[in-house]
Amino acid sequence: MSQLLKGKTALVTGSTSGIGLGIAIGLAKQGANIVLNGFGDHHVAQTQIEQLGVQALYHGADVSKAKDIEDLFGFAESNHANIDILVNNAGIQYVANIEDFPVERWDSIIAINLSSAFHTSRLALPYMKKKNWGRIINIASAHGLVASAQKAAYVAAKHGIVGLTKVTALENATSGITCNAICPGWVLTPLVQKQLDDKAKAQGISNEKATEQLLSEKEPSLQFTTPEEIGELAVFLCSPAANNVRGVAWAMDGGWTAQ
Ligand code: NAD
């Protein structure tokens, strides 16, 4: 097995499930130690990572809170886990027209999907600068590049994180620190399963039919991207071949944003 990232430590926010877990496993397979974060049961994820022969720490910071993120970095430091690779992945969704959008949902989507990446980046960069090496990967979305109705907060946050990615890349452009965004289309995770369940319920159709509709509305390939595929793209962005890939928003969306 290749050990491209042996000796590095990666923090992946929201890595107890879905895409974050797929990325954590992808990086761990390359020898990176992992700091897991997210809600729900973390033991399964932690065991999966440890079985790959690397260290898996866990901190349950609520990344909507700057103070929790500071605690997470303090925890990593006290465990000698200095963050070489930062993957800002934690995210939530809520679907409603703007006039019906609950204010607290707007605030929490902006906090979790956007502001958290500012806080983690500001805390990770000083250490990366000392080493003159670092990777920041922001998990945006096809919704970082184009919009859909009823997703005001999500689309605003994801467009915002694409902007933050470019600024972070530019501020570090002459260093060994790169920052890029990955923009997935549909990935079948708990976040999307909820949207499928809601769609099936609202229209009185089967889950299979709802899946068919969801994919054909947006994604020309008619296929979900998998967390494993996104993990492999993250590994590439951490590799020496990607030393000069800076500030891109890399769509992995079955052709969604090519239309
Ligand atoms: P998911 O629901 O499976 O995972 C989200 C993770 O974030 C979980 O580990 C959850 O515990 C964590 N999380 C949520 N709120 C948190 C908080 N306040 N503090 C810390 N952790 C928190 O969702 P997913 O589909 O894997 O989404 C991961 C990322 O990928 C999100 O940023 C999402 O916007 C993005 N994305 C997903 C899709 C998709 O189709 N699933 C497409 C494009 C982008």
C-alpha closest to that of 91 among 223, 207, 181, 216: 181
Q: Of 41, 92, 183, which is best to mutate to test ligand 1, by the most ligand atoms within 8 angstroms of its C-beta?
A: 92
Range of the domain at 36: 9-187+226-254
Nearest atom of ligand 1 to the alpha carbon of 16: 9
Show the tokens assigned to 99: 């006039």
User: Could you tell me if residue 259 is inside a domain?
Assistant: no
Nearest atom of ligand 1 to the alpha carbon of 154: 34
Place of tokens 């997703």: 151
**Looking at the structure, do residues 21 and 115 belong to the same domain, yes or no?**
yes
The mean of the pLDDT values for the chain is 97
**Looking at the structure, do residues 207 and 143 belong to the same domain, yes or no?**
no
Cβ atoms 39, 16 nearer than 8 A: yes
**Looking at the structure, do residues 214 and 126 belong to the same domain, yes or no?**
no
Nearest atom of ligand 1 to the alpha carbon of 15: 9
pLDDT tens track for 107-131: 999 999 999 999 999 999 999 999 9
pLDDT of 2 > 90? The answer is no
pLDDT tens track for 234-259: 999 999 999 999 999 999 999 999 99
User: Could you tell me if residue 104 is inside a domain?
Assistant: yes
Q: Of 189, 224, 226, which is best to mutate to test ligand 1, by the most ligand atoms within 8 angstroms of its C-beta?
A: 189
User: Could you tell me if residue 4 is inside a domain?
Assistant: no
Instruction: Look at the chain and report how many structural domains it folds into.
Output: 2
pLDDT tens track for 50-102: 999 999 999 999 999 999 999 999 999 999 999 999 999 999 999 999 999 99
CA angle 185, 154, 248 (to 5 degrees): 55
154 a catalytic residue = yes
